[in-house]
Amino acid sequence: MARISLLIVWLRASAALLPIAMAWGPGIAHAAASDQIAISGQDVNGHAVAVNGKGHYTVVMYTNPDLEDDSRAMTLALDRYRSRSDFTLIRVVDLRGDVPPEMRSMVRVQIRKEQAKESARLKQAGVEAGNQAPIIPDFSGSTLNALGWGSVYDQVHLVVYDTHGREIKRLESVTDAKQMTKVVDSIL
């Protein structure tokens, strides 16, 4: 937790110094602006996931157990993009403080069951198995904090990254799937 706090302080300090660097030398400013901090997490199977990976547009969705129905509606609305090779959906489930360590394996099993249902549904729709949307159960808050989601929210949040891993859009408190697909349509 202390490392994340230090990272956030460092990022804020770097952002404050960027205008100075731009005035001092264009080469330095370009290097500072093009450096992206990789955000990663572990999916429900323990595999590393590059949250702001390169080579595709990525929609990252904040959800928590209370938002299950809302996030499912958002996920369904994104189905039409899921067969695209330049599109990735990643869901980060906020489980900070909600699940004791001895119960986490049961939570992962439940998430895997939901993923299996989703996979079957997508297969019927013609979406290849390789285009699955990773789910990151975040028990510690490390991925959530790196994404700037330091609180527990009562509505779905989204961050969209371009093919270079740069954030291009942030949507707070998304209540309508049409609002989200309108943004995705404008980007893709």
pLDDT at 64: 94
Domain extent, residue 93, equals 39-187
Band of the pLDDT at 124, cuts 50, 70, 90? confident
Query: Strand 156-161 and strand 167-174: pairing?
Result: antiparallel
Tell me, yes or no, whether 31 and 46 share the same domain: no
- 77 and 123 in a common domain: yes
Picking from 104, 103, 93, 92, the residue whose alpha carbon sits closest to that of residue 65 is 93
pLDDT of residue 34: 46
Q: Same domain, yes or no, for 140 and 120?
A: yes
H/E stretch holding 158 reads strand 156-161
Q: Which of 1-5, 41-45, 116-120 has the lowest mean pLDDT?
A: 1-5
pLDDT band with cut points at 50, 70 and 90 for residue 128: confident
Overall domain count for the chain? 2
6 and 47 part of one domain: no
Reported as a single tens digit per residue, the pLDDT across 129-167 is 665 789 999 999 999 999 999 998 999 999 999 999 999
Task: Tell me, yes or no, whether 21 and 87 share the same domain.
Answer: no
pLDDT at 130: 63
Q: Is 136 found in the same domain as 166?
A: yes
Residues 111 and 21 in one domain: no
Regarding pTM above 0.95, the answer is: no
Question: Which tens digits make up the pLDDT trace of 16-27?
Answer: 433 333 333 333
Those residues with Cβ within 8 angstroms of residue 153's Cβ, 6 or more apart along the chain or in another chain: 62, 64, 67, 94, 173
User: Residue 110 belongs to a domain with what CATH number?
Assistant: 3.40.30.10
For 4, the enclosing helix (H) or strand (E) is helix 2-24
C-alpha distances out from residue 38 to 59, 135, 161, 165, Å: 15, 18, 12, 8
d(CA 175, CA 66): 14
Residues 126 and 51 in one domain: yes
Mean pLDDT rounded to a whole number for the chain: 81
